[in-house]
Structure 1
Amino acid sequence: MTTLHLCIATGQNAANFIPLKQLQAQEIWILETPEMQKQQSAKALSMALKSALPEAQLRTLAFDDSTPANMQAAALQLACDQLDGRDVVFHATGGTKLIVLAIHQQLLNLASGQGRYRLLYADTFQQTLSWLDDTPRQEAMQDVLTRDEQLLLRGYRTTNDTRPAQIQQRAAERAKVTRFMGEKSAQLKGFLSTLNYHANQAADGKSLTRDMDYLPRASTAAGKLLDLAQEHGLLTMDEAYSSITFTNQEAAKYLGGGWVEEYVFLKFTGTLAPTQYTLGAQITHSVSKTSNEIDGIAVANNRALIIECKAKKQDQAQDAIYKLGQLVKQVGGLMARGLYVSAKPVSDTDRARAREYGVDILAGDELATLSDYLRRWKDSEQA
Structure 2
Amino acid sequence: MTTLHLCIATGQNAANFIPLKQLQAQNIWVLETPDMQKQQSAKALHMALKSALPEAQVRILPFDDSTPQAMQAAALQLACEELDGKNVIFHATGGTKLMVLAIHQQLLNLGSYRLLYADTAHQTLSWLDDEPRQEPMVDNVLTLNEQLLLRGYRSSNDTRPAHIQQRASERAKTTKFMGEKSAQLKGFLGTLNYHARHAADGKGLTCELNYLPRAQSPAGNVLELAQQQGLLTINEAYNQITFASTEIAEYFCGGWVEEYVFLKFTGTLPPSQYTLGVQLTQASSKTQNEIDGIAVANNRALIIECKAKKQDKAQDAIYKLGQLVRQVGGLMARGLYISAIEVSDTDRNRAKEYGVDVLAAEELADLSKYLRDWQNNPSTAKTRP
TM-score over 0.5 for the alignment? yes
Other-structure match for 1:276: 273
Q: Quick check: 253-262 or 5-14, which moved more? A: 253-262
Other-structure match for 2:314: 317
Other-structure match for 2:90: 90
The number of equivalent residue pairs is 379
Once the 2 structures are TM-superposed, how far is the Cα of residue 241 of structure 1 from its aligned partner?
A: 6.7
Query: 8 Å contact 2:156–2:281 — kept in the other structure?
Result: no
**Counterpart mapping for 1:106-185 below 5 A:** 106-110=106-110, 115-143=111-139, 144-159=141-156, 161-162=158-159, 165-185=162-182
Other-structure match for 2:230: 233
Matched residues in 1 for 2:267 and 2:294: separation? Answer: 15
Query: 8 Å contact 1:160–1:278 — kept in the other structure?
Result: no
Q: Quick check: 223-232 or 240-249, which moved more? A: 240-249
1:373 matched to 2:370: yes
CA distance change for structure 1 residues 135 and 160 in 2, over 3 Å: closer, same or farther? farther
CA distance change for structure 1 residues 173 and 357 in 2, over 3 Å: closer, same or farther? same
Other-structure match for 2:302: 305
Query: 8 Å contact 1:275–1:300 — kept in the other structure?
Result: no
Other-structure match for 2:26: 26
Q: Quick check: 181-190 or 202-211, which moved more? A: 202-211
Query: 8 Å contact 2:303–2:334 — kept in the other structure?
Result: yes
Once the 2 structures are TM-superposed, how far is the Cα of residue 78 of structure 1 from its aligned partner?
A: 0.8
Query: 8 Å contact 2:8–2:92 — kept in the other structure?
Result: yes
Other-structure match for 1:52: 52
The CA deviation string for residues 248-285 of structure 1, in whole angstroms up to 9 with x for no partner, is: 32222212221001111111111112551111111111
Once the 2 structures are TM-superposed, how far is the Cα of residue 307 of structure 1 from its aligned partner?
A: 0.7
Query: 8 Å contact 1:314–1:344 — kept in the other structure?
Result: no
Q: For residue 131 of structure 1, what is the amino acid of its counterpart?
A: W
Other-structure match for 2:216: 219
RMSD: 1.6
Matched residues in 2 for 1:270 and 1:306: separation? Answer: 18
1:213 alignment partner, SS class: coil
Matched residues in 2 for 1:221 and 1:321: separation? Answer: 29
Once the 2 structures are TM-superposed, how far is the Cα of residue 120 of structure 1 from its aligned partner?
A: 0.3
2:183 alignment partner, SS class: helix
Query: 8 Å contact 2:64–2:74 — kept in the other structure?
Result: yes
Once the 2 structures are TM-superposed, how far is the Cα of residue 322 of structure 1 from its aligned partner?
A: 1.3
1:293 matched to 2:290: yes
1:109 alignment partner, SS class: coil
CA distance change for structure 1 residues 318 and 44 in 2, over 3 Å: closer, same or farther? same
1:240 alignment partner, SS class: helix
Matched residues in 2 for 1:314 and 1:108: separation? Answer: 62
Other-structure match for 1:76: 76
Q: For residue 372 of structure 1, what is the amino acid of its counterpart?
A: K
The CA deviation string for residues 115-164 of structure 1, in whole angstroms up to 9 with x for no partner, is: 21111000000000000000000000012000010000001111451456
2:186 alignment partner, SS class: helix
**Structure 2 length as normaliser, TM-score?**
0.94
Query: 8 Å contact 2:2–2:27 — kept in the other structure?
Result: yes
Query: 8 Å contact 1:127–1:382 — kept in the other structure?
Result: no
Q: Quick check: 237-246 or 81-90, which moved more? A: 237-246
Once the 2 structures are TM-superposed, how far is the Cα of residue 165 of structure 1 from its aligned partner?
A: 4.3
Q: Quick check: 189-198 or 63-72, which moved more? A: 189-198
CA distance change for structure 1 residues 13 and 72 in 2, over 3 Å: closer, same or farther? same
1:263 alignment partner, SS class: helix
Other-structure match for 2:383: none
Query: 8 Å contact 1:127–1:381 — kept in the other structure?
Result: no
The runs of 5 or more residues in structure 1 that have no matched partner are none
The CA deviation string for residues 78-106 of structure 1, in whole angstroms up to 9 with x for no partner, is: 11111112111100000000000000111
1:138 alignment partner, SS class: strand
**Structure 1 length as normaliser, TM-score?**
0.95
